[in-house]
Amino acid sequence: MTVRLTETTRVQTQNHRFAGEPAAKRCLVAIIEDDAEFRGMLRELLEEEQYRVVAVGNGAEALETLRGEVVPDVILLDVSMPVMDGFDFLRFRNDDPRLAAVPVVLVTNAKSHERPTVGVNDVVRKPIDIDEILFAIKRYCV
């Protein structure tokens, strides 16, 4: 199933639950995405699945937030963003030992030759498939 930003997104997510997953309640997912509507949809989806979520609009905000006491279990990262894009975020993240250990899932519509590869654990293409993104997150939240 492919997710497109529509009013039916909430209804579509109702049938895609990993019920009873205690790992989800412990898992913190960081969303780094400049599109506020898409970021909000991802946040809502993950919170409905019982994940804890921190969401920011660009790489600079992410570094500021994640260099504090908040260290996520997995990072969902867009590539094309204003202020600091995914490429620059990864460079700074890879220099920080605490953040470098956090798995990164690119959530992007960038073509394979336009994507960073160093420091990336997985890729989910936009428009996202709900099952695919939940599977990718679940892989790193054990």
**pTM (2 decimals)?**
0.80
Distance of CA 98 to the CA centre of its chain: 18
Q: What is the pLDDT of residues 15-38, one digit of tens each?
A: 344 445 456 678 999 999 999 999
Place of tokens 């519509």: 109
Q: What is the pLDDT of residues 51-65, one digit of tens each?
A: 999 999 999 999 999
What's the CA dihedral at 78, 95, 132, 110 to 10 degrees?
A: 40
Domains of the chain plus CATH, in order, are 21-140 (3.40.50.2300)
Q: What is the pLDDT of residues 89-128, one digit of tens each?
A: 999 999 999 999 999 999 988 666 555 566 788 889 888 8
Helix (H) / strand (E) containing 31: strand 28-32
